[in-house]
Every structure is written in structure tokens, then in C-alpha cells.
Chain A
Amino acid sequence: MSQAEVAPVRAGRSRSPLWTFGILRSELATTLRRGRTLALLGVLAAVPVLIGIAVRIQTSDGSPAGPPDGGGPAFLSQVTNNGLFLVFAALAVTLPVFLPLTVGVVAGDAIAGEASAGTLRYLLVAPAGRTRLLLTKYTATLAFCLTATLVVAVSALAVGALLFPVGEVTTISGTRIGVGEGLLRAGLIAVTVAASLIGFAALGLFISTLAGSGIAAMAATVGVLITVQILDTIPQLSGIHPYLFPHYWLSFADLLRDPVYWDEIVKNLGLQGLYAAVFGSAAWARFAAKDITA
């Protein structure tokens, strides 16, 4: 076992740096082939269908959607006039609960699920590398965030176009923009909604490095989500509200102003970045030093 014998293995094969992304491709494919992922996406796709049908039935006698005082989910009352608003309404409905719920399942299961299945040890001796594996898991989780949001948006767009007229969009500021511009804004909103989940995804990944079983990690992640949502509604705690990750979630509506009001959107993205940095580092510190005994 001289150095001469070790060296050819390192240098002899013409190795491509691109091969390191093989694990990401495999992770994305594996995530999408899991029955659970498809079920989650199916539920998300069904939400706009339910909203669309409900609004259609309720307004078939000509009455406006939603209570007359404009309560209920945002944008719901405009859906009958313009199917495009179903995209905004569906995202406003799913962002507080359904979307983070599915992200919590995927992020919470990321490491803990592999650990409890025993596959984690084989990935690590492959060797996937702990940092590389964690980055892969986080990237795949973010890809799921975007996919899940797009599933809601595309489903809503299809249902909205099918059940309601589609035309010029009246912005919150009262101005009117064309359908093309409206679609562009819808796409931007979907990306913003997906980006709103960045912080929570990192939190879920951190919990996943702590837990011993996938189920425990998912439950804990979703539990944290609900707790934080409740804290965000208690007025006495208003001092900490700006630091809670869901606090600015609904700021995506500001993209429908003319001109766009960026303040809270920027605050939201900044907060998500902060959560990603803090909990991403914590997840790395935990995972890099963890004894893998499962």
C-alpha cells in the first residue's frame, strides 16, 4: 500500500466535477417518485379546484363571491370577474397552512427519514459527504417548495380559465393591467410565495438532523409551524412578530399594486434569508458532527 498504489485511483480515472451533481439529480428523481410526494402535490392541486367550484356554485345566481363586507380569503370576491384572480386567491389560501404543511413533511423527513430507513449510512459510505448530502437535501426541498407552489398556481390558472372569464386585471391600487402583464405578475407571485418557504424549509431540515425518526421530525416541524402561526396572532407579542418567519408571508399581495410596493416583500425575503442562514448553519453543525448509529 504505497502511495503509488493510492495515487492512480485518485488521478487515474478522468473524473468530471459535474459528477458531484449526480446525487442532486438522484435526490430530485427519488423525491418525485415517492408516492407520498405525489399525494401531497395532488392535495395541493385539488385546493384551487374546490375553491373554483365553490365560488362558481355560490355565484351562479349572480351574487358576488364572499361576504359583502369583503371578508374571507383575499382576492376571492374578484374571482367571478376574472379567473386569473383564482391564482392569487388559491395562493393566499394555501400559503398559511397547506403549502408549509407539505414542505414540513418533505423537509422534516429529509435526513431523519433516511436515518430511520437505514439508507443514510449507505449514502454516507458511498461516500455522499455530509455537507454535500445536506446541501442536496436542502436544494431538493427548495425545489419541492417551488414545485408545490407552481402546482397550486397552474391548477388555479386552469380552473380559473375554465370556469370564469379571463381579462384585464384590476390591481389593488385600482389601475388596470393587461392579461399578459397579469400573467407575469401571477408568475412573480408564485415565485415569491415559494421563496417565502425558504426559512421554514431550513428550520424543517434542522429538526430533521435532530430527530431519530422521519415521523417525529415531520410532526415536530409542523408543530413548530402551528405554534409560530399562533404566536403571530397574539397582539401582546407584537414585539417579536417581525422576527417570526410567517409574519410577512401575505405581503406577496403587494405585487398586485401599481406601482409594486416592495417594502414588506423585501423584509419577507430578508427574514427568509436570515432563517435559512441560522437554521442551515445549525443543521450543518449538528449533522457534520453526528454519530450515525441507525
Chain B
Amino acid sequence: MTEPGAVTESLVVPRTGTAVIETRGLTKRYRGGQLAVDGLDLSVPDGSVFGFLGPNGSGKTTTIRMLMGLIAPTSGTARVLGNPMPGAARTVLPQVGTLIEGPALYAFLTGRDNLVRYDSADPTADPRTRHARVAAALDRVGLAAAAGKKAKAYSLGMKQRLGLAAALLQPRRLLVLDEPTNGLDPQGMREIRTLVRELAADGTTVFLSSHLLDEIEQVCTHAAVMARGRLITQGPVADLAAGTRGRLAVTTPDPADAARILKEHGVTGVTVDGDRVTAEPPPREVELADLSGALVHGGVRVRSFGVERASLEDAFVALTGEGFDVAG
């Protein structure tokens, strides 16, 4: 992220940084004037499982559509696998498996024939191995038994699996999965997570968009957070959560006294909720043990005391200052 000039000039040879997806000031304003994506600088490291996080309507799907060459950016550039999109779509996309905004199928074709159709659309796909690859992809998502059924008879979860199978028809360097667990039951969600981990272990970079925070926390190594079309933050998941300070939490039957004593020791943001007192964690120079000692000295009976680790959800709320379910 240092030399913007070099990016637009080098067409094939990427810089030494190993970003599988890299955008600079990527912006999309729809014809109605609505700014869907605003100056996005995204960098997805090679080999990562990258969580792309944000409430519905925050611009995730528009970003993915620009990365896949379906939508032309209003301004800014996007590079996928080192090549500019949408210009290099023909060389880039055969190496990318995609699930965008849910599966789309030909209802009158069988599951198998749907995959044959999508595979035929790829001029780099070898027709001699087509049926073997289709069978392998169906097997991988657990649809081998239903391969001969017409897609209109599929449940939502089966359609989602078939969409995933289409993304796995060829060995891919990058998988872009937009809300891959939509419509799946908890068992199906677990299977998809396992599948994502397997693929990542094989060296495939997985770009996973979701509005489910725990999903991102469970499978992703890196994450980016979007809200209202803007990138709020990005980085390793551990850093994102760490960047948000946790909360000092005290559970006690004497919450009023506890709150008073904490305030006397310079702790800010003290709130009382039943027998739970929470506050901003004290500055580094304050020893936590001194605080707990002060509480006990003041006659406060302490059930539990400590700083709670921030979750990604806390990080998100802290970053956006709003609840996660708000559509931007």
C-alpha cells in the first residue's frame, strides 16, 4: 500500500506483496446517485481465509461484483491474482471459484447438468475431464446422491451446495464465497466451515463475505469490516479483536459501592447493570490487582473480577458505533 502509481502500470507482474485481491480507491456510485462503495482500499493476503464483514446493504456484494468484473467501478482500480479487473477477466476468472448472492440454477436441468452447463461456459475447462470433475465436485459438497434430480426439486440448502460445487469445478487459487452458509441448517453450516478449512489447507485463498460475526471468527484468519460503503478496518482477526479494548467487569452483590470505588480510582465509563459493573479498562500503569484490592478494602464482596476479551462483535460495534443489524 505504498506506491499507488506502480499498480496501474504493471499489468502482469505484481509487486512483491502477496495480495490476492488488492483495490485502490474502489468506488461505485449507481445511476440513482447512491454511493454503494466509497474509496475502498482492500488487501487480501495470499493463503488467507479472509472474512468480509458488514451488515446487509453495506456494499459487500457490490464490491464482490466489481472484483468479478460484473460491475464497472465508477473510479479506482481492482486487481485480482495480480491482474487488473475487469480487464483481465479471461485469465483471472478461470482460477477463481465464485458464489455470489446465492446460487442460481436452471430449474429444468438436473443438478449434474447445471454443473456441466457452467463448466462448458469456461473456455479453459477440458471437456474430456468434464464429467469426472462434475462428479468430484458433487461428491465434495455431498450431493452425489441427488445429482440426477431436477434442480427445481432441490431444497434451498441443496441449491446452496450445488452453487458451491460450481465454484469447485476446477482447482482454484481463489474462492469468493458470498454468504455461503445462507439457507443451511447448523449441520450444513458446520460442513461448509470444514470444507472452507480443507480448501484453505490446500493453499486456496478464501474470500468469505458474511453478516454472521461468529462465522467469521470461527474460520477466518483475516477480516475486513465494511459499513455504509466504507472500509472501517482490515487485518488479522486476532489484531482486530485486540485493537478493541475489552471491558473491565466486576460481578458483585454490592454494585453501588463497587461503582463508587472504581470511580474514585479514576476508572471511566462505569455502568451498573444489576449485579454487574462494567467500565473502561484502566490505563496500563494501573495494576489490576490494586483495583481489586481497593474493592475488597472498601467492603465490596467480589464474585468475579477481570478484563473481558473483546469479540469481533465488540470490535464492530466499537468501530461503527452502531448495532450490527443496521442496514446502511
Contacts and interface: CB of A to CB of B under 8 A. Distances in A.
B65 A33 contact: no
A35 interface: yes
Given A30-B106, A33-B108, A33-B109, A292 B123 contact: no
Contacts of B117: 26, 30
A291 B82 contact: no
Given A2-B13, A2-B14, A6-B12, A121 B127 contact: no
Contacts of A35: 108
A1 B19 CA distance: 8
- Which of B89, B118, B121, B122 has most chain A Cβ within 10 Å? B121
B210 to A, nearest CB: 19
A33 to B, nearest CB: 7
Interface in A123-156: 123-129, 132-133
A200 B67 CA distance: 36
Contacts of A124: 68-70
Interface stretch (B97-105, B180-188, B217-225, B312-320): B97-105
A127 B70 CA distance: 11
Nearest to B95: A9
Interface string B41-79: 000001000000000000000000100111110000000
B227 interface: no
A78 B122 CA distance: 52
A1 B81 contact: yes
Interface residues of A, number: 36
A119 interface: yes
Given A119-B106, A121-B104, A23 B72 contact: no
- Which of A10, A22, A35, A126 has most chain B Cβ within 10 Å? A126
Contacts of A20: 123
Interface string B116-144: 11111111111100000000000000000
A289 B69 CA distance: 11
B240 interface: no
B42 to A, nearest CB: 16
A122 B104 contact: yes
A25 interface: yes
A127 B120 contact: no
A35 B108 CA distance: 8
Contacts, number: 117
B44 to A, nearest CB: 11
B125 A1 contact: no
Interface in B18-60: 18-20, 46
B96 interface: yes
A127 B104 contact: no
B14 A1 contact: yes
A6 B82 contact: yes
A266 interface: no
A132 B20 CA distance: 27
A1 B89 contact: no
A244 to B, nearest CB: 33
A148 to B, nearest CB: 20
B93 A125 contact: yes
Contacts of B82: 1, 3, 6
A172 interface: no
A119 B105 contact: yes
A242 interface: no
6 contacts: A117-B106, A121-B68, A125-B93, A127-B89, A133-B121, A291-B72
Interface of A: 1-3, 6, 9-10, 13, 15, 19-20, 22-23, 25-26, 30, 33-35, 117-119, 121-129, 132-133, 289, 291-293
3 tightest CB-CB pairs across the interface, nearest first?
A: A118-B104, A26-B120, A126-B121
Given A9-B95, A125-B93, A126-B118, 12 more contacts: A1-B18, A1-B20, A1-B82, A15-B124, A22-B121, A117-B105, A119-B105, A119-B106, A127-B69, A129-B89, A289-B72, A291-B70
